[in-house]
Structure 1
């Protein structure tokens, strides 16, 4: 049986005369828009049990997909099952929309489907994944070099709530790399400057500010309720506090660090995977003395380097929320900007780690501030 090929306008005319349009794309594809009045049922599901959706073999059925290829294949399959009045819409939904024919969208906020349309087209994200991002809460320490690109892309991706912790104010020397901030916000608290920038990018995201220096007294208050914690700190005492709190409360920690022309990223998830996944202390049991690890103000840093590392941190955070891909748990990714090379180091869990070893009780927070200043 030869399948009739029809233009979108003809499909609309026949639909108004009683024909049924069936959109055979996947649900994440239909979420971005479909021919008004069309029945949405994925091709595989339709071909597996066509009678469930199309009980009448003599019904006038017009099949549509994105471009016309899948709908033709579906029509050919239905023809072998006894359906007699079939047509495929040439050019599919793409041509339907280009010709200005009426479309509908899945129930919900129009901004949601427009803003995240490229995510919705990805089977690994789709509407369900985007809704997970929308309901997620991420706590970030640092609204500076690493926090700026990470927060920008997490807000753009639609993470529902971002909690930003930083007790510093914007300085002109920050502007070389801390892209959340601008010249006219010099002297403004960084968390407020970040809130302004992120809200302008995506007003649907809730930005909660935490303008406090992280201590043992407030670290749990910062990360409680968070699905993922991002470490954009610039000092060792805060890194250890974050690590220990994440182990205690069972939060995945996305670590990032930069130095001059090099950076590194990892995911520490020992709180949820005791004895299997390492924590930050498994990598660095104790902080180095200050002279062995100068900060950016002392050693300098290539301005674009925190952008690369911060974006990798945002990528890992999104993957963790979606439950997609392979996170950097148990792996340390090194980046050399001058050589433009990545290399990976495996990180096993330390069976003697004082914080994350299986069966070990939480030892309490250690104040490394005095140690580092000694």
Structure 2
């Protein structure tokens, strides 16, 4: 008798050992790994087919397996595979066996496995994401390969960077020329008392690395100007605007359109904030200058150091920016393109305004000369 031929089983046999399952597979049986997608992300038995038990009935028919063929079911420890066996019997499959001890015993016995699409640490760390059909393994892998530039590591950049790192966005670039001051700590939660005087990019990098060591952090301790804006932003998938001044925002707007990179805008003032997405990949998307064609005067728009800001407000707006970034990366939901979301902290109210592309916008109208960064600097200085 060939070593690949499984021993004859009793008609009442329900479970088989992993080694027996491997022999049967080599003789032609099909092994179904009925664990959930997040569990299988860290690996499966070699040559197994992954179908979660919840979708077993719908998907097993797609495999075009005859009902007389031998099917084996495996889960984590051997409990769900028994339930899967019953499902398959009810569907008319007559030769179905559950693998005793599941994948845990399979691994303990050193039987061959295929590496998963992510390592065990990632499968555990992002398990709550993997349970969401809108994210799942494919969405998590998109997050891992994404490159996001955060301009500003202050009030808006702090919460956005923290939650992007926690979500597993694989590459974060921090651009800021400022240093940590004690007055920052009321709202810039990525920094600490011990780091006062440290460059904000360096301080933020320490916090993010401690939160999620797998994220790659790139830092640029410099201010965005006409001469470096494209070099610093090129190659990214998204830009998050955490700037606190109009010259930088106008430069970001122009660079976003020149480079074809979506810009996630956020701003705060005293007790109110606003968020929108300007996406140059969409022909109908407005740009920042459709909203603010010309910069307001310093009296009309004082910064936080002059007007003050409720400490929690940048956290709320920064997290909304982060939420938009994740949606854009995984391709889910309805982003805030053509919409301005306004938040009033004192009244705990949101209001949404429609934004349309302005055909006379000085920034994005036809023939507007998008590369004239020097003109923007002159405009904002005037």
**TM-score interval w.r.t. the shorter chain?**
0.7 to 0.9
1:39 to 42, 45, 48: 48
Deviation, 1:263, is 0.6
What's the CA shift string for 1:207-260, capped at 9, x where partnerless? Answer: 111111111111111110010001000001100010011111111000000011
Report the counterpart of residue 70 of structure 2 in structure 1: 59
Cα displacement (A) at 1:24: 3.2
Counterpart selection for 1:219 from 229, 253, 270: 229
Counterparts of 1:361 and 1:372 in 2: how far apart (Å)? 17
Q: 1:293 aligns with which of 301, 321, 335?
A: 301
Q: 1:67 Cα shift? A: 11
User: Aligned residue for 1:322?
Assistant: 330
Distance 1:73 1:14, change over 3 A: closer
Determine the structure 2 residue equivalent to 1:241: 251
Structural mapping, 1:130-279, within 5 Å: 130-269=140-279, 271-274=280-283, 276-279=284-287
Q: Which secondary structure does the structure 2 equivalent of 1:209 belong to? A: strand
Match of residue 331, structure 1, among 314, 329, 339: 339
For residues 317 and 80 of structure 1, do their structure 2 counterparts lie closer, same or farther at Cα, with a shift above 3 Å needed? Answer: closer
Judge conservation of contact 2:85–2:97 (CA < 8 Å) in 1. Answer: no
Unaligned runs of 5+ in 1: none
Cα distance, 1:58–1:247 mapped onto 2, change above 3 Å: closer
Q: Is 1:48 matched with 2:62? A: yes
Corresponding residue to 1:349 among 350, 357, 360:
357
SS of alignment partner, residue 354 of structure 1? coil
By how many angstroms is 1:140 displaced?
A: 1.1
State whether residues 159 and 319 of structure 2, in contact with CA within 8 Å, keep that contact through their aligned partners in structure 1: yes
TM-aligned CA deviation for residue 109 of structure 1: 2.9
1:282 CA drift (Å): 0.4
Query: Residues of 2 paired with 1:228 and 1:139: CA distance?
Result: 6
Counterpart contact for 1:79–1:86, Cα < 8 Å: no
The TM-score with structure 2 as length reference comes to 0.82
Q: Give, in whole Å, the separation in 1 of the partners of 2:298 and 2:140.
A: 43
What is the RMSD computed on CA atoms of the aligned residues? Answer: 3.3
Cα offset, 1:76, TM superposition: 3.5
Task: Give the corresponding residue for 2:7.
Answer: none
- CA-CA distance at 1:204 after TM superposition: 1.4
